[in-house]
Every structure is written in structure tokens, then in C-alpha cells.
């Protein structure tokens, strides 16, 4: 796999500076000199792939209710920015297509997390990758990740040339993580920062796949994790991490 990962990836765009998972957040990350962004994709009720994290609309939009029960035409014009700040009042929930257009325009790389609503693990991956495979051909700059093994299995079937990242949550590595990673033929292991001990980092290094850690916003934490052998970081304030680790990272 010819994946060219940067050391710092902007989490949901640049989540500290703009409303997460919006075109404005992607633009903000690009303006900060961030090379890659991580975004979440899920499906509306009528199978439109959108960039959105939560199962419900309430936290980050003027809407309410389940994404999976809402048609695209009913969430297209929702305010997805004023919760973050008055200057973002016109932000909208982007479609996958709109987000990809912005990323390609900026020349950035993408870690697309398949974030399916319950029961739509396979379908979300299939719809998202069907679109992505028609417009994204730079294999160096695309990583498909998910906590859901079914979603990664669908990605392996549908777009085997795209690198896959195995997301693992919780506080400790499950015993079967290597078997899962091998079965899904993943290129990266993506762990929560609280999970990463010296032993965990060594185990992943022995597996000979890059270890990416989320979500790291404290430069001192990043430096400590880097000393353990962590290869890359997801950050809400990627510029801060890049700046403080410059020399050690770039």
C-alpha cells in the first residue's frame, strides 16, 4: 500500500475552529496548512451520503430527530453552524460529494470514517464507496476507517485498492485485534489515546502497521505518545500539534 500519511490529521476538519464536519471546517483546516482531514459519513433516510457524526441532528444543527429517519431534502437547509458561533450561521450539512469537491480543490488527503446508523453498516460503506470510487483515484491520499467490521468488510469488497484503518474504541485492545486486522487487511491501527500504553504501542509496532491515535489536542500528550512510537495523530487543533512537534514530526 502506497499510503502517504501525514503526522497530523485534522479531526472532523478543524473542529476547534469551525463547526465539525462542514465545508467551512475543511476550508479552515486547509487554511492552517493541514494536509489531511478526517470526516464522518452516514446515510439519510433516502440514502444520500452526508458528512455527519451523530445519530441525531440535535447537537450540531437546528433540526431534531434521527438522521436515519430524515430525508436529505429535510436536512439540506438546516443550520449546522450557529451552535458553534455567529459567524457560521449559514453552514449546512454537506453531502459527501460537496465535501470531496472541497478536499480535492484544496489538494488534501482524506480519512473517511464510515459512521453508519445502527443496522446500516454495509449499506453506508457501499453507498459512500460507490461514489468515492468514481471521483477519487489518488490511492496515496485516502484511508477508509470504521469501528464497524461489517463496514470495513464492505470496503474491502467494493474498493480493495483503498487503504483501510481499523478503529478500536474502549480502554484496552481486544484480544483478537490482530486477527480482525489481518482478516480485513487493514493498513493502519487507529486507537483512542487513553488506550495507548508502552505495551500497546509495542504490540502495534510489532504488527508493522502505522499506529494513529485520536483525539490529541495537548502538545505534551502528543510528545509523550510520539516517544512511545505513535506514528500520527488526529487533532481538533491540528496546527497546534504540528507546530509543537515540528522537527520531530515533519
Q: Which residues are catalytic?
A: 11, 53
What's the rounded Cα separation, in Å, for the pair 213 and 123? 27
Quick one: cell of 197?
Answer: 500504553
> How many C-alpha atoms does 2 have within 13 Å on its Cβ side?
6
- CA 244 to each of CA 36, 100, 219, 234: distance values in angstroms, whole numbers, following the listed order: 18, 29, 6, 14
Of how many residues is the chain composed?
250
What's the rounded Cα separation, in Å, for the pair 195 and 173? 7
Which stretches of the chain are assigned E, i.e. beta strand?
Answer: 8-11, 36-43, 49-51, 109-114, 142-146, 163-168, 188-192, 211-214, 232-235
**Is 216 in contact with 194 (CB distance < 8 Å)?**
no
Amino acid at each position: 500500500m502506497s499510503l502517504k500519511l501525514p503526522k497530523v490529521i485534522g479531526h472532523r476538519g478543524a473542529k476547534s475552529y469551525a463547526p465539525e464536519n462542514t465545508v467551512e471546517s475543511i476550508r479552515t483546516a486547509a487554511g492552517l496548512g493541514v494536509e489531511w482531514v478526517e470526516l464522518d459519513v452516514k446515510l439519510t433516510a433516502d440514502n444520500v451520503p452526508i458528512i455527519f457524526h451523530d445519530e441525531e441532528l440535535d447537537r450540531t444543527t437546528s433540526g431534531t430527530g434521527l438522521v436515519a429517519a430524515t430525508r436529505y431534502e429535510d436536512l439540506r437547509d438546516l443550520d449546522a453552524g450557529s451552535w458553534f458561533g455567529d459567524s457560521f450561521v449559514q453552514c449546512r450539512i454537506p453531502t459527501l460529494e460537496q465535501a470531496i469537491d472541497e478536499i480535492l480543490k484544496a489538494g488534501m488527503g482524506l480519512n473517511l470514517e464510515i459512521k453508519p446508523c445502527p443496522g446500516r453498516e454495509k449499506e453506508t460503506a457501499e453507498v459512500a464507496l460507490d461514489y468515492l470510487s468514481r471521483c477519487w483515484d489518488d490511492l496515496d491520499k485516502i484511508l477508509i476507517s470504521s469501528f464497524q467490521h461489517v463496514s470495513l468488510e464492505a470496503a474491502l469488497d467494493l474498493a480493495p485498492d483503498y487503504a483501510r484503518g481499523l478503529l478500536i474504541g474502549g480502554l484496552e485492545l481486544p484480544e483478537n485485534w490482530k486477527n480482525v486486522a489481518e482478516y480485513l487487511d487493514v493498513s493502519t491501527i487507529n486507537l483512542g489515546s487513553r488506550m495507548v500504553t508502552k505495551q500497546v504501542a509495542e504490540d502495534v509496532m510489532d504488527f508493522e502497521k502505522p499506529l494513529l491515535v485520536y483525539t490529541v489536542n495537548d502538545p505534551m500528550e502528543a510528545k509523550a505518545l510520539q516517544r512511545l512510537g505513535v506514528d500520527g495523530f488526529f487533532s481538533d487543533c491540528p496546527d497546534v500539534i504540528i507546530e509543537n512537534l515540528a522537527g520531530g514530526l515533519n
